[in-house]
Structure 1
């Protein structure tokens, strides 16, 4: 948990340019404390500390009201009570926290196929491919925060930027209960006045070392030549400090695979009837699933399509393949076939593609003559994505070709 008390809160309005803010960092505010208060609404607004009521225990979490007294997680309970004698102590309920965490992460999976969980209360969400259907950060972020609050009672703060590092820093500045979008052309103005503690990985000991060299802000680190930083802190640490001080963070959002299933859902901003638009979304979802399978070195035999209609009625259709696969094209065509088999359908609110019956990767057989060729091509695309980003190359030609087919099934009405 953060030691923040909200005193330096910074939020942005809907007018800020969100075109370059392709990564969200979603962080639940004072998660354990907020979750515990769902069952004790009478304590909302009071300084509440989560932990065992013993002088030998430590603080698990604290509300923002308690943080204003200097209370924070991992602090000895005895010291917390000296700082805030009026604090109310609640026993932690980890079963509740786990259930709520899973519920929130499922909501994030509904938004994007690119979700990287960092713990029970925070995650990165890639939204680069969602602008056409769902809008940018200014639309997705507030809608996501509202849905989390409505469906769980929890409050989330969100940072949005072009890198994971700046998005995470932005969410911490937006707390509590806020959202901050940092466009690329404003990143350095936002970053350089921050204290060196804002540099990812810089703890108290490193802060003291930086202070000995007169470096107290990120801007002062940025103004120090790389060679000097490396002579002071070593080659790797010096470069790390230099790169982050200039907001250089090439890491993409990478999902952490589930042991048994690999799936992505997407909730449309508006209900969709157009069959081509549904096929396009299936292509995008299945592309993310295929990439996750290949990254994990596994293959799946069962492909499942989930469809939730405008009235919230939900159906699933599955097909078990003769051979396990990690080839996106196979999963796309299988899911398209499951969609076609539904015939005429009402407007769609949510689509999901899931691969299950997972096993270790093996050589492809001859079920699809060009499976090996497509598999090689997709691995080459994976390598391009790793080096140049997910937008560098995409299988749009496959979608155009499939749109021309006569056997794609009846198209939906307007």
Structure 2
């Protein structure tokens, strides 16, 4: 009898859709790495699904994606303050230099340009600047040129990282990414260059409450008490539900997160918000950990899905201990709330999904990116999977010692 797969049918279906959407730009190895599976496993899923060759229709998909991006860009340029064509240009006859411009540097440039005709001493006296300052400026010309060249090279790398992560990373994560590439660079320098070149990460948006409590449900203790730390993997999990607008409808998403590594262990998406949604996410998390999860604390809010008898039975079956915060207190499930903020900030910034398929693909792509590549501040700017790999490596070394 074949051993049951630890990957749910929903995960395999979304993985196939992700490969089909990115086949013209990425390799099997790259996509499989984000999914935390082997390339051959992904190929097997493609064969089993009898999927058409990835190249067919790739040009049409690319053209459609390009058209959508152009439309989004045009809308953002139109609506974003200061981004329209010509915005910020100086008015005719206005002053050349604005506050904080390098006026002193312009004075030195003027001295250099006219020194041969008028003499340095006379020009410095008329401009009321010191000759010693001018000579120091001349002596530092080579060093300034080297700094500008280094800054230009660094800005190019910052733009590349910013674009690779779809404009989501701010100064802290870009600094961590540069350090991960082996660069020794100061965080304040990265922030300064991003500020000077108007490179900005995504900002938080207002959240919307989604929990519908069941006042008649049996009481469940709060085993976490707002302490979202854990000493080991599979010591504490947390979960929650959010929803995404798709046209005039809603797509609901449930996730289960390991509090130690911040990894999304299981997820489920559906057009309903019944208890099956959170049960599927929990079962996916159990399968990802190989079923040995007895004693794990699962923390959630007091939504009716988590207080349902069906969900309680599934937890009892796997030996999972339920934990719940107070009604209407987002701080009692702050880690999950923070996760939703990141998801919505980075996938739904000033956009509305038009189809369920598009929404599913975008969300699944972000979840795999979050687990495999997105640097997390609580993990020393490692991704959740990198953190777990280091955790397992450290444990093996301690056992060997």
Q: What TM-score results when the alignment is normalised by the length of structure 1? A: 0.23
Question: Which one has a bigger Cα radius of gyration?
Answer: 2
Structure number with the higher helix fraction is 2
TM-score by length of 2: 0.23
More strand by share: 1
